[in-house]
Amino acid sequence: MTTLAETRLIPADSRGGADHGWLKSRFSFSFADWYDPDRMQFESLRVINDDFVAAGRGFPPHSHRDAEIFSYILEGKLEHKDSMGNGSTVSAGGIQYMSAGSGVTHSEFNPSASDDVRFLQIWLLPDEQGAAPRYDTLQLSETDKRGTLKLFLSKTGRGGSLSVRQDADIYCGLFDGSERASHVIAPGRAGYIQVAKGALTVNGTKLSKGDGLALTAGGLEISGGQEAEILLFDLAKLN
């Protein structure tokens, strides 16, 4: 019998945030002008920003290096352009992944004339420095995620996932009604769940939109979904 993982709730209303009019964000970890010394990162997970960008607006070209960055699109569309010559537009259910490596400049823009875009902007610390930058996308359907944990980022790119420069397995899932899923966080690793939409229960803890849940090694049981969409991070513990 698998021992259930111990959990620690990070409530949605404890997050930081910013409102620039065209951009409204909530920060799960210290970011920009919001600083909390107890919320700097979770293992290699450094940023989870819940971003709303108004129609026709976006982030102008800016630079990154040595960061694993992906955008998980929840509503609307997001356009990406970068100094590597990449350009793409991804809609809800899509993932834009960029390994900044030795340095890259990119922009993110809402191409719609009428609709906001909502996405989770997520950064992980890489396990190597100064690597060649790279970019990729992945589009997932509702069927891919319905009632299951769908792997979409991993160190090795297994199972059709995108390959990330970190010992991290990142899953997404949709849960409603009687749909259930389980997962085991192995010894030497830690888990983190971010609720993007709706509500559900994990190991007896009720979670709602915007909540985070940190987990020690052990089993996790997902149930009681109410139109829920989540991300699960299975991360190597940093020394």
pLDDT of res. 239: 76
pLDDT higher than threshold 80 for residue 2? no
Higher pLDDT, 1 or 56: 56
Q: Kindly report the average pLDDT of the chain as a whole number.
A: 97
Contacts from 197-201 at CB under 8 Å and sequence distance 24+?
197/74, 197/227, 197/228, 197/229, 198/225, 198/226, 198/227, 198/228, 198/229, 199/224, 199/225, 199/226, 199/227, 199/228, 200/175, 200/224, 200/225, 200/226, 200/228, 200/230
Q: What would the pLDDT profile of 74-130 be if each residue is shown by its tens digit?
A: 999 999 999 999 999 999 999 999 999 999 999 999 999 999 999 999 999 999 999
pLDDT of res. 89: 97
Q: What would the pLDDT profile of 144-163 be if each residue is shown by its tens digit?
A: 999 999 999 999 999 999 99
What's the DSSP call for residue 144?
A: H
Q: What would the pLDDT profile of 188-233 be if each residue is shown by its tens digit?
A: 999 999 999 999 999 999 999 999 999 999 999 999 999 999 999 9
pLDDT of res. 107: 96
Domain spans in the chain, listed from the N-terminal domain onward: 7-236
Question: What percent of the chain stands above pLDDT 70?
Answer: 100
Confidence band of 1 (pLDDT split at 50, 70, 90): low
Q: What would the pLDDT profile of 22-45 be if each residue is shown by its tens digit?
A: 999 999 999 999 999 999 999 999
Fold of 7-236: Jelly Rolls (2.60.120)
Across 54-80, average pLDDT: 97
